[in-house]
Structure 1
């Protein structure tokens, strides 16, 4: 089943150059952490010697186009998004990229960033489909998202977890939550209850990475989310939003 590494935050205006830099670091880190997913490695056992991957950029109209994971190419792609009809700096600038190979790996990543909306969260999402039995470094992937994008909250999750949170925990789709691995920004991490039985890793910015449960234990993930919500660690950003982090 596809898993998704997610990060969300409030309004944070950023230049297109800054966004290209964040995307470059993100794609570089994916290549480091998931070398078997290299689209240039047909059998999924070897990468392309450290060369940047070539992704497919999903377009709003027409077929996907090849996009090399270097900063000039990413900068040009982001500028094209901003030049398109209907784009506004309030919503933010998005990319939608896909890569995969014949070994059964598929990564789709996208989101919106640099926007100033008072009501729409900014986000980055990384969807991963892996061959049976393949190791996926969930905590390292979420740590990379936390480092590169500086989100307010995030997690590694899948449809089973999201359905359980919505059906049994009354979590709205846009309400803060975490998966079997979670990330909290510094102010949220400060509200972690002492009795919460999870493995906590302090991050350099004062936030926290939480190892909550095995992927299959949706009830444990639900229980942790309920406790975090009760403690105020999953309080939504006040609307209209005026800052990126709680």
Structure 2
């Protein structure tokens, strides 16, 4: 049985998802003008965040807020905050690729306690609560049981547009790819983590990410029996600029390869 907070999150994610699906259908008509399409998607992104913020702040006005589009706002309750990415996978959305999601997490005293990642284009709703397991459309999720690197598929984000993490990521790929069944780069961190939770990917790592990209996914993986840690150092994974996640069986070998640098 979902908590009141999780039900509020699901309702907001579905509402924003409906708005984004409607806008997504219009994207194809805007491909003739890169600027026009980009501006349109920015508006769609901001509108989705407005919808989510209105729903969450109405239901829990004293909680804090961290959103990709509207930044951070303190709440009367300093122990709780919503962490929201209204459209993870914006570039996919802009290009008409149906692989993007709404991501909402609830943090309590520095720990993620509830999570929703909604892939509206495929109607896949990933949810988790601390201690209560992870689900996709009410089906219990478990990370994969694969223990051999050569049979495993991994996901990452390859930096673009001259981002400074590109050299390190290329070195990661050079070390990892010969040892695996493949690496995927699908452009939506929230879904990468959801797919690890669902056993579709065996592991995931990424450098240069933001809290709103990964906060919900971190809980999904943990509640599905996987491990998530900062790539370097300690502290909450959702606050790290680089993370690594995997099933428990493959964790040691995978983490060793990625952390070798």
More helix by share: 2
> Under a length normalisation based on structure 1, what TM-score does the superposition of the two structures give?
0.32
The structure showing larger relative contact order (alpha-carbon pairs under 8 Å, at least 6 residues apart) is 1
